Amino acid sequence: MSRIRKSFPNDLVQSGFDSVCMSDEDSDSVEHYTWLRKRVERLQAQVEEQDNAIRQLKSQQKMHMMETGDTFDDIESYVEVESSLNSTIGTYLLTRQKRNAARKPPPQVTLEAEGVKEVLLSYKNEIIRQKETYERNLEKMQARIAVLEAREVPTVDVDAILQVCRGEMMEGLAALRTEILEQVQEGQSTLSAAHETNKAAWLQEVEALKAMSSRLEQSMADTAAQLVENITKSVSSLREEVTEKSDATQKPVEQMKESIRTLQQTVEELREAQEKAEEQRRNDPTPPVVQDIQKDMEQLKKKLKNSVEDVNRLKQNHPLDGAVSEIKDWLDDLDKRSVSRGELIEIVSQFQADVASLREEMNKI
């Protein structure tokens, strides 16, 4: 606004109208009034150009004020300029009216003088109308600024954002854990108390590995419990069948018992591995603990695979009314539910990436 005020000083129109009034005293000819009309038209075009520039700057100032909340110093300065311009035009019109009343213009130029007067009056009315419009717009802008100043600016609650992010992450992990629990519900009641204790300790020690450790621990515990229960039933059934078999079937039965003992030993090793992993997590809950558990899982899987091969050979040579098929199905199911090294690495990598992304977002906030 200061730039426009420099290029459009308050005495611009006053000086032009003073020159018109001075020349008005020298001549009353038709040529003089023609020059006077052209002079007024030039002044009017000049003022309109400045008015358009002011109106455009006012629009920009309005947008700037709505974005930054600046004051109305420039708009008030524009109102002062506009008031000065209106006062100057009014003074000129009063001077013209007094001079015209004091002297009577020639008949041939009366219409021309009246035309100039009408132009000036119409321009004055237009200036008044624009002034009223600007005042209304100024009042609207002031009301808008008052609303913006009264409005409370919300603050960023970092704790709430972190709580929401943590809640969303926990919901996803809880959904994954629920899916795994649905697959092994049969053995949940057996080790539920121990699992809850381990889970509480694990949450206190390493929050970041909650989902992965819970899935691994629950899968191992429930699978072992289910395998023990099924093997126990199978052993009881096989013992009853062995008592009824003849001496010819004694050797296959002994082989089956040996396989069962191998499976029982495998289950015991699985339990020991689980206890060892839990002890390591208590002492040093870091990713190498998970790698040790994975190594134990791979060794157990090899032993289980060998047991499955032994059972398959027994089934081919000496079928025992579907018992071997059932044990094989259990072993296959156990092998399918076991977490592979690649899956575990992928889960750990994905989890670490999610944690890194969350930390970056927290740092940005």
User: What is the per-residue pLDDT across 334-355, written as a single tens digit (0 to 9) for each?
Assistant: 666 665 667 767 766 777 777 7
**Per-residue pLDDT for 310 more than 70?**
yes
> CA 338, CA 222: separation in Å to the nearest integer?
11
- In this prediction, residues 173-188 reach a mean pLDDT of 55
**Strand, helix or coil at 153?**
coil
Query: Can you give the pLDDT at residue 269?
Result: 76
Q: The tokens of 298 are what?
A: 């791979």
Q: What pLDDT band is residue 332 in, cutting at 50, 70 and 90? A: confident
Query: Can you give the pLDDT at residue 258?
Result: 76
> CA 191, CA 222: separation in Å to the nearest integer?
7
Query: Can you give the pLDDT at residue 111?
Result: 43
Query: Can you give the pLDDT at residue 307?
Result: 72
**Per-residue pLDDT for 110 more than 60?**
no
Query: Can you give the pLDDT at residue 107?
Result: 43
CA 152, 157, 163, 166: dihedral to nearest 10 degrees?
120
**Per-residue pLDDT for 18 more than 50?**
no
> CA 252, CA 133: separation in Å to the nearest integer?
107
Q: How far is CA 31 from CA 15, 24, 134, 243, in A?
A: 21, 11, 38, 142
Cβ atoms of residues 263 and 307 within 8 Å: yes
> CA 115, CA 113: separation in Å to the nearest integer?
5
Query: Can you give the pLDDT at residue 359?
Result: 72
> CA 217, CA 225: separation in Å to the nearest integer?
12
**Per-residue pLDDT for 181 more than 60?**
no
Percent of the chain with pLDDT strictly greater than 70: 18
What integer best gives the mean pLDDT of the chain? 61
- In this prediction, residues 225-252 reach a mean pLDDT of 61
- In this prediction, residues 89-106 reach a mean pLDDT of 57
**Cα dihedral across residues 245, 247, 249, 252: positive or negative:** positive
**Per-residue pLDDT for 79 more than 50?**
yes
Q: Letter for the amino acid at 13? A: V
Across 91-100, 135-144, 217-226, the highest mean pLDDT is recorded for 135-144
Q: Is the pTM of this model over 0.95?
A: no
> CA 117, CA 91: separation in Å to the nearest integer?
13
**Per-residue pLDDT for 8 more than 50?**
no
Q: What pLDDT band is residue 133 in, cutting at 50, 70 and 90? A: confident
The radius of gyration of the chain from alpha carbons, rounded to an integer in Å, stands at: 48
Q: How many helices, marked H, and strands, marked E, lie in the chain?
A: 12, 0
- In this prediction, residues 313-328 reach a mean pLDDT of 65
How does pLDDT run across 250-307, given as a tens digit for each residue? 566 676 667 767 766 776 776 677 677 667 666 654 556 566 667 777 777 777 777 7
**Per-residue pLDDT for 65 more than 50?**
yes
Query: Can you give the pLDDT at residue 352?
Result: 73
> % helix / strand / coil in the chain, to the nearest 5?
85, 0, 15
